[in-house]
Amino acid sequence: MAEGILFHVAGEILMKLSSEASQQLGMLWGLKNDLTKLTNSVSTIKALLLDAEERQTKSHSVKDWLEKLKEALYDADDVLNEFSYESRRREGMTREKMVKQVRIFFSKSNQIAFDYRMARKIKHVRERLDSIAADNNQFHFSEKLEQKAQHVSLDQIRERDDTSSFINEEEVIGRDDDKKVVKNFLVDMNVKDNISFITIVGIGGMGKTTLAKSLYNDRQVSECFELKMWICVSYQFDVKTIVEKIIESATNSNPKVGGMESLQIQLKKVIQGKKYLLVMDDIWNESEEKWFHLKNLLIGGARGSKIMITKRDSKRVLEIANLTTLFTLKGLSESNSWSLFRKVAFKEGKEPTNLNLIQLGKEILVKCRGVPLVIRHIGRMLYSKTSEEEWVSFQNNELLELVHQENNMTSILKLSYNHLPPNLKLLPNSISELLNLQTLNLKDCYALKELPSDTSKLENLRHLDIDNSIHLTHMPKGMGKLSCLQKLSLFVLGNNGHGSKLRELNGLKDLRGQLRIKGLEQLRSCTESASDAGLAILKDKKGLRDLKLEWNLSYTLGAGECATDEKVLEELEPHPSVESLRITGYCGLELPNWVSTPLMKLTHVAIVKCVYLRSLPEWISGLVSLRELEINRCPELNSLPEGMQQLKSLYRLRITGCFELEQRCKKGGEDWPKIAHVPHISRY
């Protein structure tokens, strides 16, 4: 276990517990006290973890203690993921659907059952953690609250560059009214306080920094102040660092003293008696306590001094509402959006003679929702496209990918990546030099073809999300060395044995959540296909909940290749804790007889495009938790197991592209008695 891993797991759990969604749902379900107790338990443990993880190499007892704690923390994380899922589910509902489902959900019986189940889970996890924490007394761990390991996502590998106050005023389009409102605040000197705050908030890419630059450089604004300072705060709101930046901006030189006491004296000399304007750009995190501390350091200026802040989240501003005036920056108007789009999308900023392109441009612009960064980016991408066909293709494909994402900045990065030339669609090998990297998020990088060849160096990596990277050709060799990996959404087998073999999964013992194995047809030409699959030992991966096994479908296989698929699938038996299983493109005649470990928790099964499959195994009738069964494009399948009546939990059965089976499963058909108890049956 790499140093600091559990420390970060505990930290992530605390973040989830303190999230707004958890707080709201906790109150809604009457679980606030339970969540508070769980927070206290995890906080107590987290303070001891760095010392414990350092000492595990010297003590088997400490190592055993950490193993027990690891399982308990992961279970706590699973419970909180249920909270997160429920929150996202509700947010995704339309208002009408929400009203209907909430009415159903909060029927008395359903609410009591759900509350009881969640309360029981939380209490059980908390009691386990408290019991394990009590055992730490024998080890006398010391508290170490500093964070020694990094947690980096792809979007955070490089923080935003420091902004500066320079601006080309020609780039500011459609913000005259917004500028006027904020400007009136800045030049108003009829105030009582020495310092007045105004915060410009809005989503990423809305133009907050651009507006602040325009105001900072405005002549009338500048004439009101003796001193102007511009700093970029970014992610870390550290008062000492902020003071250093303020002094540097005011004096054009780095502070020569490092202690907080010396810095505050130097700051006082810089601003004492002067009416100043301070811009604090791109603030992410802050607290009321830190704000009051910073304000007290800045009160030495003359009456009428102003501090202008830009930040994304208006909710956090509520914590300092008594200190600041809030100005929300909204999207550009339709006419201003078109002016900006026309400037970047068409040569010399002139509308083309092709009226169809103009119409397409305006349709595309609607999806940009007035966000300047999105408009600029899309306009620049379309600049080199001159035909209607190219614009229509962009509108129907890449644009849809962008607008369905919540995070505009991340979506734009992905869109930019997908438009790179093929020779550049490789992840930089330099990423493998980030030896403390723990999270690498490449989800929806559709054009990604290869991961860095030295990915195996990332021994501290815990989360590798490559879901929907549909053009990924293989996994790099040595994936089994990533022993800390918990999330691996996709594993791709390469052509002719290129890249990691399936047996590399054996080294990934802590995999959790979803795993999709793609390219299993490659094992048909491998002489050791079954043994290689068996060495993956999926049935030992008790953290996996959702397993997808995929072959590329072939209609021209011989008996030997079909037999190979059967042997491979038999060796890929999952752990009994798996809840969802999807088998696609499998060309065996039968499914394996997985009886060594009954899959009692399996709730969803999908069997798709298994064109040679002739029968389903009887063990399916023993899946007591099964709620959904999908059988799709299995034309040789002509009957259901005799024990289907035993599936009392089965709620939905879907049969598609299986002509004979569909006929037998119609009301009055030969298999109808087996499924008559299922509430929802669809055949089409």
Q: Which of 271-280, 444-453, 627-636 has the lowest mean pLDDT?
A: 444-453
Most confident of 127-136, 244-253, 466-475: 244-253
CATH superfamily of 431-683: Ribonuclease Inhibitor (3.80.10.10)
Average pLDDT estimate for 625-636: 91
Average pLDDT estimate for 409-416: 52
Q: Which pLDDT value is given to residue 432?
A: 77
Q: Is the pLDDT of residue 339 over 80?
A: yes
Q: Which of 232-236, 266-270, 499-503 has the lowest mean pLDDT?
A: 232-236
Average pLDDT estimate for 412-428: 51
Tell me the Cα Rg of the chain.
30
CATH topology for 158-328?
Rossmann fold (3.40.50)
Cα–Cα distance measured from residue 410 to residue 431, given in angstroms and rounded to the nearest whole number: 18
Beta carbons of 610 and 590 less than 8 angstroms apart: no
Q: Which pLDDT value is given to residue 402?
A: 57
DSSP E strands, 274-317: 276-283, 305-311
Note the pLDDT tens digit of each residue in 318-336: 445 556 788 999 999 999 9
Q: Which of 71-80, 111-120, 503-512, 627-636 has the lowest mean pLDDT?
A: 111-120
Cα–Cα distance measured from residue 414 to residue 408, given in angstroms and rounded to the nearest whole number: 10
Cα–Cα distance measured from residue 287 to residue 99, given in angstroms and rounded to the nearest whole number: 35
Close Cβ partners of 406 (under 8 Å, ≥ 6 residues apart): none
Closest CA to 281 of 208, 217, 180: 208
**Terminus-to-terminus CA distance in the chain, angstroms?**
50
Beta carbons of 386 and 224 less than 8 angstroms apart: no
Average pLDDT estimate for 433-455: 82
Q: Within a 10 A sphere around the Cβ of 61, how many other Cβ atoms?
A: 12
Characterize the bridge pairing of strands 195-201 and 227-234.
Answer: unpaired
Query: What are the domain boundaries of the chain?
Result: 2-96+105-138, 158-328, 348-419, 431-683
Q: Is the pLDDT of residue 672 over 50?
A: yes
Banded model confidence at residue 259, pLDDT cuts 50, 70, 90: confident
Q: In what order do the strands lie in the sheet with 490-492?
A: 490-492, 513-518, 544-550, 580-584, 604-608, 628-632, 652-656, 680-683
Q: Is the pLDDT of residue 606 over 80?
A: yes
Better-scored residue on pLDDT, 14 or 505: 505
Note the pLDDT tens digit of each residue in 13-30: 877 777 655 565 565 556
Q: Which pLDDT value is given to residue 581?
A: 94
DSSP E strands, 268-373: 276-283, 305-311, 324-328
Q: Which pLDDT value is given to residue 317?
A: 53
Q: Is the pLDDT of residue 129 over 90?
A: no
Q: Which of 58-62, 456-460, 567-571, 666-670 has the lowest mean pLDDT?
A: 58-62
Q: Within a 10 A sphere around the Cβ of 174, how many other Cβ atoms?
A: 19
Closest CA to 397 of 410, 378, 376: 378
Better-scored residue on pLDDT, 361 or 408: 361
Exposure of 364 in the CB half-sphere (CA atoms within 13 A): 31
Q: Which pLDDT value is given to residue 586?
A: 92
Q: Is the pLDDT of residue 414 over 60?
A: no
DSSP classification of residue 406: S
Q: Which pLDDT value is given to residue 104?
A: 44
Q: Which pLDDT value is given to residue 441?
A: 84
Exposure of 437 in the CB half-sphere (CA atoms within 13 A): 22
Average pLDDT estimate for 545-561: 82
Q: Which pLDDT value is given to residue 286?
A: 57
Banded model confidence at residue 94, pLDDT cuts 50, 70, 90: very low
Dihedral through CA 402, CA 407, CA 410, CA 411, nearest 10?
Answer: 0
Closest CA to 398 of 386, 413, 388: 413
Q: Is the pLDDT of residue 108 over 60?
A: no
Closest CA to 126 of 86, 66, 80, 81: 80
Cα–Cα distance measured from residue 122 to residue 665, given in angstroms and rounded to the nearest whole number: 42
Most confident of 73-77, 431-435, 573-577: 573-577
pTM: 0.46
The yes-or-no answer to whether 158-328 and 431-683 have a common fold is: no
Average pLDDT estimate for 604-624: 89
Q: Is the pLDDT of residue 307 over 80?
A: yes
The CA-atom distances, in angstroms, between 25 and each of 131, 229, 275 are 27, 43, 47
Residue 377: in which H helix or E strand, if any?
Answer: helix 372-383
Better-scored residue on pLDDT, 430 or 295: 295
How large a percentage of the chain has pLDDT more than 70? 77
Banded model confidence at residue 524, pLDDT cuts 50, 70, 90: confident
Cα–Cα distance measured from residue 276 to residue 225, given in angstroms and rounded to the nearest whole number: 5
Average pLDDT estimate for 352-372: 90
Banded model confidence at residue 12, pLDDT cuts 50, 70, 90: confident
Q: Is the pLDDT of residue 103 over 50?
A: no
Q: Within a 10 A sphere around the Cβ of 254, how many other Cβ atoms?
A: 9
Note the pLDDT tens digit of each residue in 217-237: 999 999 999 999 999 987 677
Q: Is the pLDDT of residue 419 over 60?
A: no
Beta carbons of 48 and 145 less than 8 angstroms apart: no
Q: Which pLDDT value is given to residue 183?
A: 96
Better-scored residue on pLDDT, 62 or 329: 329
Write out the two tokens for 668. 């009055």
* Side chain identity at residue 152, one-letter code: V
Q: Which pLDDT value is given to residue 21?
A: 54
Cα–Cα distance measured from residue 435 to residue 461, given in angstroms and rounded to the nearest whole number: 8
